[in-house]
Amino acid sequence: MAQKKSNSLVDSYLVAYNAASFVGWSYVLFQTVTYLLEHGTDLSGLFDQVGYAVIYVQTGALLEIVHSLLGFVRSSVLPVLTQVYSRLLLVWGTLYVFDQPEVRASYGFVLILLAWSITECVRYSHYTLSLLGIQSPTLLYLRYTLFYVLYPTGFSGEMLEMWAALPFAGAIRPAFKGFLLLNIINYPPVLYKLYTHMIRQRRKVLGGETKPKKAVASTTAATKKKL
């Protein structure tokens, strides 16, 4: 999410939004890690501890579509809509609907929680500091490096969740099952597109360097252009 034009009111709002999102995802990450440390592989109570939190925090991302529509940020509406849609399908179309251990107490759910929360904590903290004019070489590097692991991890978890929900969706309505299956089939090309896009962005922002310090001086304008 990038600042499109200088407007103190809009800038203040975006700082507040990104900071609040960071707090929300930090809470999800903390609750997830705490549960796993306490209960290990017993995932029966994981959803009760963090499930509704991740649903509500992720639903807040609907505002990012509004930000694009109103021109608050440079991001195009379609990519933002695509990303928000896929996640809302997971949290409302599977996790919320199906109170089944195969869905709510699965390793796919764990992968989603860890991949999403780590990604978003880095992303929103990076956005917040950038809007405040504060440069963080570490966050910049993590923002354009962690995706190598977190994107495949998150996508794998999402596909596993939808796959686990298929029998229960079919019991509700066959068309619902077909809809989820269509989304599963669509995941690999979407992952490829996003993955290669991030690789290109990493080369543009970090210049192919492995050390973030060399990239900071030349990335202020790039950060404002497209976060």
Measured distance CA(15)–CA(133) in Å, rounded? 11
Percent of the chain with pLDDT over 90: 74
Residue 174 falls inside a structural domain: yes
Annotated catalytic residue, options 64, 120, 158, 161: 158
Instruction: Decide if pLDDT at 143 tops 60.
Output: yes
Give mean pLDDT, residues 150-161: 94
Q: Is 151 a catalytic residue?
A: yes
Residue 28 falls inside a structural domain: yes
Residue 100 falls inside a structural domain: yes
The structure's pTM equals 0.86
pLDDT of residue 208: 56
Which of 25-29, 51-55, 118-122, 219-223 is predicted with the least confidence, judged by mean pLDDT?
219-223
Residue 178 falls inside a structural domain: yes
Residue 102 falls inside a structural domain: yes
Please name the residues in contact with 90: beta carbons below 8 A apart, sequence gap of 6 or more: 112, 158, 161, 162
Annotated catalytic residue, options 13, 107, 151, 187: 151
Residue 81 falls inside a structural domain: yes
Residue 1 falls inside a structural domain: no
Q: ∠ at Cα 89 (34, 148), nearest 5°?
A: 60
Instruction: Decide if pLDDT at 182 tops 90.
Output: yes
More confident residue, 100 or 219: 100
Note down the domain range covering 198.
Answer: 8-225
Measured distance CA(9)–CA(131) in Å, rounded? 12
pLDDT of residue 218: 41
Structural domains of the chain, count? 1
Residue 48 falls inside a structural domain: yes
Q: Is 38 a catalytic residue?
A: no
